[in-house]
Amino acid sequence: MSLLTFSGWGQPADALSHALQLKHAQLFDYSHYAGMDPAIDALHGTHAEHVVAWSLGGQLALHAIARGALSTDRLTLIGVPFQFVQTDAYADAMDRFTFETFCDNYARDPARTATRFQGLLAKGDSRFKQVMAAFRNHPQIDDAARWLPWLHALDHAPVAAIDLRHTPATTIIHGSEDGIVPVAQAHALAAALPHATVEMWQGVAHAPHLHAPERLRAVL
């Protein structure tokens, strides 16, 4: 079975395959592209039997599927945002002041801000120490020019804005303690997809693949 993975913002492209010991997974390192449009262009014509995507990587995968650039028979989404930043129409998201403050801090001190961000990803997780010990940042995390466009993609290219009717069978895995993407977003995403189930993992924050890799391997 061909397997394609998309990692989260600021994380190594192999974050999922490394944690899950998926030796034959294909990786898509979208940080090489200056935003979502060129990344989707690069994916044009790609097919994988199974796509596994975490957080921002899932947002990108859904946009690519909606535009017909990526096709797959099965999709697994882990902590994927439906609407990352609050709008007048959608309140179950990060408030704009917090988001813009993070963007400003990252632009000024990328390495330090990204490291502190790991603590937010793991906050509330019942296996906090294990998750923190397993985190790795992308080798070029201090290259703000590489990663800032992808922060803006979280804001300007929400999943809520696209047509998801042709998305394949999807499993949504979400942590009950996720402080980055509120639990309500998992249910909003499932409601917008034609064939989706939600697995809510109790005591888990924003990195289920690091909290219980063996459990996620069983799901896959």
**Secondary element (H or E) of residue 100:** helix 96-108
Q: What is the pLDDT of residues 89-137, one digit of tens each?
A: 999 999 999 999 999 999 999 999 999 999 999 999 999 999 999 999 9
Domain coverage including residue 78: 3-219
CATH of the domain at 197: 3.40.50.1820
Q: What is the pLDDT of residues 156-200, one digit of tens each?
A: 999 999 999 999 999 999 999 999 999 999 999 999 999 999 999
Yes or no: say if 188 and 160 are a contact pair by the CB < 8 Å rule: yes
Per cent of the chain over pLDDT 70 is 100
Number of domains in the chain: 1
